[in-house]
Amino acid sequence: MSVSELHLLVIGAGPAGTTAALQARDLGAAVTLLEADQVGGTSLNRGPAPVRTLARAARLMRDCNSWSRFGLVGSPPVPDISAVLANCERVANYAHEKKDVAGHLRHFGIDLFAELGTVHFVDPWTVAAGNRSWSAERIIVAVGGRPGTIPIEGNELGLTYDDIRHLTSLPDRVAIVGGADTGCQLASIFQDFGAAVVLFEAGPRLVPAADASVSTELHDAFRAQGIEVHTDTLVQALRRRSDGIAVDFIRGGSTGRCVVDAVFFAVGWPPNVDGLSLAAAGVAAGNDGIGVDEYLRTNVSHIFAVGDVTGRSMLVQTARMEGRVAAHNAVRGVSRRTTYAVVPSASFTDPEYGRVGLTEAEAQIHHDIAVGVARYDDLLRPVADGRPEGFCKLIVDRRSRLILGAHVIGEYSAETVQVVAACIASDMPIDKVAEIQFAFPTFTEAVSMAAQKVCRHLGIGDFPEVWSYLGHEDQPHVSRSRPQSDPEPREPRGEGS
């Protein structure tokens, strides 16, 4: 079968699905794209776009509290939740109205059907919605995920971030159940808007996937802001009371209770496999999502799955990469593998944090490492901006001198970590990173400062000890832990694998 004769069916028009559809069409296939709801998926309609806009409004409220430090006088603004949420809706609509995502897809010859309701398999080659059906030689499933809850008494009283857009007033007291990325973002947003926030995390620390140093810094920052943080704590029940919602919890055998006006769950992101009738197609799936191989094939060779529905990575940038790879393999034949080596991510908390690559604990398993930490209070720009809290941490393999991971917390962390990601992707050794002449004064100077600290400890390059190295206990250090293996220095990455 020639490419021009191949018909590809994509289920789901979020970042993964739309990217897959466009890529496949560009490769010459006939493409039909089906969407149960509105084109754009969670990322445009309910997730990063509107939530980031909400976080921006919250940060502006935070910043107004520092006006006097800069010699500014006057009354701070009062948030109008209706106007704030209307602005979030404006940003969400931008992609539909200004960029016209649906029109763009149709312009390139994609047969788009949106707002279909649940789409389900009829057999391995056919799907249906309502009284319509579609068949194709190749199928890509990109139906995403949804906010999770926990099976406790009264869980119907809990909300998710998806419910924020329906608020008519700001709650005075908020409980957040879940201390990973989404939970910490919600805690920050409500705290900056003036709510009293209680944050519960079942594990021993906030943001379990982050480097431990970032978790500690974020925990300390939250407590300094007045957020009540409970780690190693399980929420057991929610109960309606006349004065609000009672949250019953337990920690180490001791029980507790707090009363709030609203409870938000941020406890995971289960895949949207319910209703897909995967069994009709013979596709295997578990609690974590649809299983795929390195080519993004399911156990049924002509059916692929990408994005959140696979449970691999809940990031827009990864979903787009997977969409491109799956489309290529579906249209041109299986040859491209997915790669997750360099995937920067960030969370728009207060303070922000960003990461790429390995954590220090992960890196120590197989590498002999050196670590450099540049504190933000050693840089002019953070001090001038009145935000000197935070740091940039680089983790380097001593032998190859390549960066294994970077972890940043503080203002503009989401932007700063991108610089390190580019250095990692280009296999730039640490002494070359240390030589980069970053604009002054900026937050990204921390990358060069941390790199220079590592170089001094490794004895490479000609970097003098500058004033910023003095007086800090968190000077760069060298891990002396014995790696479990002694791998060869990492080879530069090439195309195709």
Domain holding 362: CATH number?
A: 3.30.390.30
Query: Considering its fold, how many domains does the chain have in total?
Result: 3
Give Cα separations from 295 to 306, 323, 327, 339, 340 (angstroms). Answer: 10, 11, 10, 10, 13
**Percentage helix, strand, coil, to 5, in the chain?**
35, 25, 40
Q: What's the CA gap between 288 and 278, in Å, rounded?
A: 14
In which band, very low, low, confident or very high, does the pLDDT at 177 lie, cut at 50, 70 and 90? Answer: very high
Pairing assessment for the beta strands 126-129 and 353-357 based on DSSP bridges: unpaired
Residue 378 DSSP label = G
Residue 125 confidence (pLDDT) above 60: yes
Q: Which residue has the higher pLDDT, 25 or 469?
A: 25
Residues 163 and 138 in one domain: no
What's the pTM value of the predicted model, to 2 decimals? 0.86
Residues 140 and 167 in one domain: no
Domain that holds residue 254: 155-265
Residues 301 and 395 in one domain: no
Residues 187 and 322 in one domain: no
Is residue 27 situated within a structural domain?
yes
CATH code at 95? 3.50.50.60
Is residue 398 situated within a structural domain?
yes
Dihedrals φ, ψ of 316, to 5°? Answer: -60, -45
Residues 142 and 286 in one domain: yes
Residues 408 and 425 in one domain: yes
In which band, very low, low, confident or very high, does the pLDDT at 204 lie, cut at 50, 70 and 90? Answer: very high
End-to-end alpha carbon distance in the chain = 26
What average pLDDT score do residues 246-253 get?
95
Q: Which residue has the higher pLDDT, 362 or 468?
A: 362
94-98, 178-182, 188-192, 306-310: which range is least confident on average? 94-98
Let me know: does 52 contact 58? Beta carbons within 8 Å.
no
pLDDT tens profile 37-55: 888 766 566 666 677 788 8
pLDDT at residue 496 in the model: 36
pLDDT at residue 491 in the model: 38
Q: What's the CA gap between 460 and 361, in Å, rounded?
A: 24
Residues 18 and 131 in one domain: yes
In which band, very low, low, confident or very high, does the pLDDT at 417 lie, cut at 50, 70 and 90? Answer: very high
What average pLDDT score do residues 23-39 get?
93
pLDDT at residue 99 in the model: 65
Residue spans of alpha helices (H) in 261-359: 278-281, 316-332
Give SS3 for 401: coil
Domain end point (choices 283, 301, 332) = 332
Is residue 491 situated within a structural domain?
no
Dihedrals φ, ψ of 257, to 5°? Answer: -150, 140
Shortest CA distance to 10 belongs to which of 146, 115, 110?
Answer: 110
Residues 132 and 218 in one domain: no
Residues 108 and 24 in one domain: yes
Give Cα separations from 311 to 292, 357, 472 (angstroms). Answer: 10, 19, 41
Domain end point (choices 211, 237, 265) = 265
Give SS3 for 370: strand
Give SS3 for 234: strand
The percentage of the chain sitting over the pLDDT mark of 90, rounded to a whole number, equals 68
Is residue 79 situated within a structural domain?
yes
Is residue 325 situated within a structural domain?
yes
Is residue 340 situated within a structural domain?
no
Shortest CA distance to 230 belongs to which of 172, 187, 269, 170?
Answer: 187
pLDDT at residue 84 in the model: 87
Is residue 177 situated within a structural domain?
yes
- What type of residue is 30? A
The percentage of the chain sitting over the pLDDT mark of 70, rounded to a whole number, equals 90
What average pLDDT score do residues 455-462 get?
90
In which band, very low, low, confident or very high, does the pLDDT at 56 lie, cut at 50, 70 and 90? Answer: confident
Q: Is the dihedral of CA 161, 162, 165, 167 positive or negative?
A: negative
Query: Quick one: which H or E segment has residue 53?
Result: helix 48-64
Per-position DSSP letters for 283-350, written without gaps between them: --EETTEE---TT-B-SSTTEEE-GGGGTS---HHHHHHHHHHHHHHHHH-S-PPP--SS--EEE--S
pLDDT at residue 97 in the model: 66
Q: What's the CA gap between 410 and 128, in Å, rounded?
A: 48
105-114, 240-249, 448-457, 466-475: which range is least confident on average? 466-475
In which band, very low, low, confident or very high, does the pLDDT at 77 lie, cut at 50, 70 and 90? Answer: confident
Q: What's the CA gap between 308 and 144, in Å, rounded?
A: 5
pLDDT, the chain, mean: 89
20-24, 56-60, 257-261, 413-417: which range is least confident on average? 56-60
Residue 312 confidence (pLDDT) above 60: yes
Is residue 243 situated within a structural domain?
yes
Residues 13 and 125 in one domain: yes
Q: Which of 35-39, 85-89, 340-344, 489-493 has the highest mean pLDDT?
A: 340-344
Let me know: does 33 contact 17? Beta carbons within 8 Å.
yes
